[in-house]
Amino acid sequence: MLNDLKKDAEDRMQKAVVAMGNNLNKIRTGRAHPSLLDGMTVSYYGVDTPLSQVANVMVEDARTLSVKPWEKQMVPEIEKAIMKSDLGLNPSTSGDNIRLPLPALTEETRKGYIKQARAEAENGRVAIRNVRRDVLSDVKSLLKDKEITEDEDRRTQDEVQKITDKYIAEIDKVLAQKEQDLMTV
């Protein structure tokens, strides 16, 4: 029973780290990367569809993304979706190919992106602490119902804290890598 609680806590904390990593991927660094457009949806015959399902997104060079829709009539819809996004990209179209030049990051925008990355990391830490709180309250209720001993309670609390520390350290490592990527010119 206690092992199930610890396993569940570890699974949920791992999911929090993965979710935080996905959110960090949406923060733009100086390099072009197709994952920049992962969360973008386009109106495809009246249905919001992920961009990756209606077009091919490629890296043209270090600072340019290329979007090639599979249907020519999707070009204006994709342009509209890119303009509405908060990525600050300005598409230029030639025929049925949409080019997205990424502007060079200034020191000010880099610091803004780092602040945004730190906020995402803090959200991840909060999610992990919430998992810890839930598991420890379950353990306390087991102790209250006299299904476990006080020694098992104490040992489980220590093990859950070690798991929590491990995943918070993982979040800090991912954040440090993202900050390094953002500050690289």
Rounded to whole angstroms, what are the CA distances from 45 to 16, 49, 50, 172?
Answer: 34, 9, 13, 42
Where do runs of H (alpha helix) occur along 61-106? 75-84
pTM of this structure: 0.71
Q: What is the pLDDT of residues 54-94, one digit of tens each?
A: 888 888 887 888 889 988 888 888 888 888 877 777 888 88
SS3 label, residue 85:
coil
Measured in residues, the chain has a length of 185
Give ranges for CATH 1.10.132.20 in the chain.
2-26+106-183
Q: For residues 146 and 155, give the distance between their C-alpha atoms in angstroms, rounded to a whole number.
A: 16
Give ranges for CATH 3.30.1360.40 in the chain.
34-101
Q: For residues 47 and 3, give the distance between their C-alpha atoms in angstroms, rounded to a whole number.
A: 44
Q: What is the pLDDT of residues 100-153, one digit of tens each?
A: 888 777 888 888 888 988 999 999 999 999 999 999 999 899 888 888 888 888
Rounded to whole angstroms, what are the CA distances from 37 to 32, 111, 140, 182?
Answer: 10, 21, 44, 17
Q: What is the pLDDT of residues 4-35, one digit of tens each?
A: 888 989 999 999 999 888 888 777 666 777 77
Reply yes or no on domain 34-101 having CATH 3.60.20.10: no
The answer to whether 51 touches 67, Cβ cutoff 8 Å, is yes
CATH class given for the domain over 2-26+106-183: mainly alpha
- Nearest residue to 53 (alpha-carbon basis) of 66, 64, 69, 65: 69
